[in-house]
A and B are shown apart, each in its own frame.
Chain A
């Protein structure tokens, strides 16, 4: 039991170790400022709800703004934060955890909570919220 105790105590310091293992900043460009970009940031390990939020968000954008998607004025992208290639973008947008994000220029709208509340049980409500938040950006 004593050993288990020591292991658990060591585990408590994991965040401190992880904290100092952060990477340095890099500069990246996102698209032009008149374009609306939606991102879903996640890690490799994912839950059912998380996948649903992503799928719903993508679908909502495609059905709400089909013309704009075709013209390339609005886009949706899923980004895995565990992959090297995502680091630069995540640093630029200051995203460190699971996030559903819509950006246009300097405007950032985070819809993570809404997604987790409604995507599974009330997809229509989630769609309405997305429309309400994204429409003013158009």
Chain B
């Protein structure tokens, strides 16, 4: 952390500052909880290492999108302080319940039929494409969950740098990549470890089913953690 602070202090290159801010966000204790859930979610296709890697990139893409859009909205003239206040105020509050609900759905404890959204067959066919979409969506949503600390790093330091000129609008993307890199690395290490074990026992499919359940429980646990943090 000290090293990163020093680097940030002496950096004259905006892209380097954005990257350092991203790393600081990724390793600070509070976003770590969402990162752990993200690692789990990204590794859900654990039998396929490449897929896990692509998931990681897509998750980062989702984050980049959110960070860029927020910066763009501020660049276009929305009151920066008011706008950032909304995220700082509600970001963590909606995250806890959301994680729990996603977890319960992943465990198939809650089932709701939404009418008019394709039958089972078409869903099976589209499964792969939709699977990618889920990961992007997760990145979009998780990026919005600003902790008190990451909120200051993003809104207090990155956004002012970004909106200073139109040429700075690439900075949120650099920032997002830096926040995503630790997640990608951990997910990939896990997939690598599992696939080497799985090859021996040839039980990857059973493992995967259980792995998904573990992820679901992880979502619920982290969700409860956030609820306790925010509401009690």
Interface residues of A (CB under 8 A from B): 1-9, 11-12, 14-15, 18-19, 22, 42-50, 81-82, 94-98, 112-113, 116-118, 121-122
Contacts and interface: CB of A to CB of B under 8 A. Distances in A.
Contacts of A2: 114, 117-118, 123, 130
Contact of B112 (A3, A19, A48, A122): A3
Interface string B130-150: 110110011011001001110
11 contacts: A1-B131, A3-B112, A7-B105, A12-B140, A15-B90, A15-B144, A43-B89, A45-B92, A94-B81, A116-B156, A122-B5
B143 to A, nearest CB: 10
A15 B230 contact: no
Interface stretch (B48-56, B94-102, B162-170): B94-102
A18 B89 contact: yes
A96 B80 CA distance: 10
Contact of B85 (A44, A46, A49, A97): A97
Contact of A15 (B87, B111, B130, B149): B87
B209 interface: no
B133 A5 contact: yes
B67 interface: no
Nearest to B98: A11
B140 A96 contact: no
Given A45-B230, A112-B156, A113-B152, A8 B86 contact: no
A98 B148 contact: yes
Contact of A4 (B92, B105, B152, B155): B105
B155 A97 contact: yes
B160 to A, nearest CB: 9
